[in-house]
Amino acid sequence: MASLPLAGSERQLPLGARDAGPAAPGEHVEISVILRRANDLGPRLAQLARGDRSEPHLTREAFAARYGATTADADAVTAFARSHGFQVIERDLGRRTLRLAGQASQVGQAFGVDLRRVETPTGVFRGRVGPILLPEELAGVVQAVLGLDNRPQARTHHRLFRPDAARAIAPVSYTPLQVAALYGFPAGDGAGETIAIVELGGGYTPTDLATYFAALGVSPAPNVSAVSVDGAQNAPTGSADGPDGEVMLDIEVAGAVAPGAAIAVYFAPNTDAGFVDAVTTAAHDTTRKPSVISISWGGAESEWTSQAMTALDETIAAAGAMGVTVCVASGDSGSSDGVTDGADHVDFPASSPHALACGGTSLRAAGGAISSETVWNDGAQGGAGGGGVSAHFTVPAWQTGLAATSSAGVGQSLAMRGVPDVAGDADPETGYQVRVDGEDTVIGGTSAVAPLWSGLIARINAHLGKLVGFANASLYAGPAAFNDIVSGNNGDFEATAGWDACTGLGSPKGAALQTALGQ
């Protein structure tokens, strides 16, 4: 039987990794197989990209019936899987996902891969090199096979404030409510909405949340629940430096500014399969029905396979078609996104053209109003708002005609997707007062901006009585709803009047934004 390589599935071992031999033949392996759609979603996405909101958003049930996978395709993959001894542990046509479980030896035979044990300075994972192979009859049916390689796919985008007596300007910190007030958030609490938060590790402690919200005077406290994806659980590690800091920051910021909204935290393994499965689960959740998804994890585009990027981008696009806004942190390592090859990189999934990419500023206030706001760039501290130009996604319609200005003052018209779209306070030196693992602390990073915008969107949805959904075209058409950031850089890109590759359109003028999105 002829086998063909699955487009975009090629993997390489990361720099500094050591091949420590084959994976144990009996090692338990769980993978996610993503199937093609029954119908082309492209025309609907093109409408949204033009800002045409004349058609109502599809319900999750209607979306699954029209754009999910077909029974015939799922049956074909199921038969293939069982012929190789796999167990089908989940089959969801709406999410276009089959979850399979088997042993490493079965996986190698079925997909033509040699699974290896890979050692890196940060840990050990199961890896592979080269493409995944599929039988000819499944070519075009299967769009991605994720989870064969279980290396950590993403990192958090939160940064703890570190005291430093050498700082030229004294640090300040705010509660999320104070930040919302400075940005003129409209009245309301997001009642009736659900904010989904994607987490790839760590956890939260209900007693910490109760203490935190009580201290803010937020009563009743938001309803927070944990959702397990691919077996992951709410599992606090006891360290604000680790993923607990991310989880608590996300919940506390979103919950403070939209306390009437329910908060559903989707915990998944930190792999490409876990990340995609977490977002598909949230987007297609017919029980909790989130209207906003907040994502504060990501990695440089160069660290992803093309198949995984396509699968996650298509999931974010599907969410938009169902009226769900997906807010994603743009990264905390400036124009390099932490890659050390000397080139510019942007963070994914912030670079998805169907996401609302959230960049970072440094926010100062006096007398209850903004006194200055610049690009977040700590310089010697090493943190800066992520932003730049995608190497993977072409320029979307709503960014046509824009240019990214380099730190040398040279503007280059966008031919590819520009990042970010919007911004908000992210500087740890002007950070957020939060509580993590029994300790009060201050945290910044663009991780704070994604839940801040998610809370704002939840408020707007509740006020309007309808879902904003994928609204990038409307946002780019309404620059008066933003505080334009015109000072600072994130490394290789400079802030300029209008959109720039440091802070996007700028930080929100909340009430004006609500008016613009209500039209």
How many angstroms separate the CA atoms of 160 and 133, rounded? 43
Looking at residue 240, its pLDDT comes to: 84
Q: How confident is the model at residue 1 (pLDDT cuts 50, 70, 90)?
A: low
Long-range CB pairs of 285-290, under 8 A, 24+ apart, other chains included: 285/60, 285/196, 285/227, 286/60, 286/61, 288/194, 288/196, 288/225, 288/227, 288/262, 288/264, 289/60, 289/194, 290/194, 290/195, 290/196, 290/264, 290/324
Cite the active site residues: 246, 250, 447
412 forms beta bridges with 404
Mean pLDDT for the stretch of residues 410-426: 97
Q: Are residues 137 and 175 in the same domain?
A: no
Q: Are residues 342 and 440 in the same domain?
A: yes
**Which CATH number fits the domain that encloses residue 354?**
3.40.50.200
Q: Are residues 159 and 63 in the same domain?
A: no
Looking at residue 382, its pLDDT comes to: 76
Rg of the Cα trace of the chain?
A: 22
Q: Which of 146, 163, 195 is the last residue of a domain?
A: 146
Looking at residue 241, its pLDDT comes to: 85
Q: Are residues 110 and 214 in the same domain?
A: no
Q: Are residues 239 and 325 in the same domain?
A: yes
pLDDT, tens digit, 9 for 90 and up, residues 225-264: 999 999 999 999 998 889 999 999 999 999 999 999 999 9
Q: Which of 112, 129, 146 is the last residue of a domain?
A: 146
Looking at residue 234, its pLDDT comes to: 98
Q: Are residues 126 and 164 in the same domain?
A: no
Looking at residue 2, its pLDDT comes to: 66
pLDDT, tens digit, 9 for 90 and up, residues 26-42: 999 999 999 999 999 99
Q: Are residues 227 and 371 in the same domain?
A: yes
Looking at residue 165, its pLDDT comes to: 63
Q: Which of 113, 146, 179 is the last residue of a domain?
A: 146
Contact 276, 146 (CB under 8 A): yes
Alpha-carbon dihedral of residues 469, 357, 360, 338, nearest 10 degrees?
150
pLDDT, tens digit, 9 for 90 and up, residues 186-220: 999 999 999 999 999 999 999 999 999 999 999 99
Mean pLDDT for the stretch of residues 342-350: 97
Does the pLDDT of residue 341 top 70, yes or no?
yes
Q: Among residues of the chain, what percentage have pLDDT more than 90? A: 92
Domain residues for the domain of 36 are: 3-146
Does the pLDDT of residue 177 top 90, yes or no?
yes
How many angstroms separate the CA atoms of 95 and 277, rounded? 9
Q: Are residues 271 and 409 in the same domain?
A: yes
Looking at residue 492, its pLDDT comes to: 97
Domain count, the chain: 2
Q: Are residues 140 and 210 in the same domain?
A: no
Q: Are residues 57 and 21 in the same domain?
A: yes
Q: Are residues 185 and 138 in the same domain?
A: no
Q: Give the Å distances, CA to CA, from 98 to 75, 77, 304, 518.
A: 10, 8, 21, 38
Contact 386, 504 (CB under 8 A): no
Q: Are residues 354 and 214 in the same domain?
A: yes
Does the pLDDT of residue 166 top 90, yes or no?
no
**What is the token pair recorded at 103?**
């042993």
As a whole number of Å, the end-to-end CA separation of the chain is 57
Q: Give the Å distances, CA to CA, from 466 to 220, 261, 519.
A: 24, 14, 12
240 forms beta bridges with none
